[in-house]
């Protein structure tokens, strides 16, 4: 997993609508990147639904939250619609997992991301990371709020 204090690897990935989104688009604000295995698994649905419930509070603290998985933009679009998500989902579909690998969250033996959270600061440096012990473990929203509080982000 990427280490806090390092510069976050730059990326440009298509979102659920096929529009390119770059890490640099978030310059000047904190961004929480939620790497997750795949759309339409019950655990991933639960995880992103929890984050959707607190998305407003995350934004009130001056941060944005995005999800990244190896699924296609089309799958992300359907997944967002199915769960009524407003979270931006980015597709690391081709070359498969390139961005996820750059952050050290890719599970080679499974072909997808482990559940991992990365907080990138306003200047593009990795401020905090959390890697789940297993893809079946959902990193709770409390971890995000604790990381934001430790970084000085407040409501």
Q: Which residues are catalytic?
A: 44
DSSP string, 35-53: E-S-TT-HHHHHHHHHHHH
Q: How far apart are CA 42 and CA 125, in angstroms?
A: 32
List C-alpha distances in Å: 69 to 5, 28, 100, 151: 24, 24, 8, 26
Total number of residues shown for the chain: 155
What angle do helix axes 42-53 and 141-150 make, rounded to 10 degrees?
50
- 30-35/63-69 β-pairing: parallel
> Which residue stretches of the chain are H helix?
42-53, 55-60, 73-83, 98-102, 141-150
């Amino acid at each position: 997993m990427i280490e806090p204090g390092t510069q976050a690897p730059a990326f440009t990935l298509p979102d659920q609508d096929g529009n390119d989104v770059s890490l640099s688009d978030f310059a000047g604000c904190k961004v929480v990147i939620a790497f997750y295995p795949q759309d339409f698994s019950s655990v991933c649905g639960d995880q992103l639904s929890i984050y959707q419930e607190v998305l407003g509070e995350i934004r009130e603290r001056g941060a944005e939250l995005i999800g990244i998985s190896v699924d296609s933009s089309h799958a992300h679009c359907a997944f967002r619609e199915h769960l009524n998500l407003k979270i931006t989902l980015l597709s690391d579909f081709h070359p498969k997992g390139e961005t996820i690998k750059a952050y050290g969250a890719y599970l080679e033996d499974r072909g997808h991301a482990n559940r991992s959270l990365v907080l990138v600061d306003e200047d593009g440096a990795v401020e905090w990371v959390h890697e789940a012990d297993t893809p079946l473990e959902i990193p709770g929203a409390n971890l995000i709020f604790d990381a934001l509080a430790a970084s000085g982000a407040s409501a």
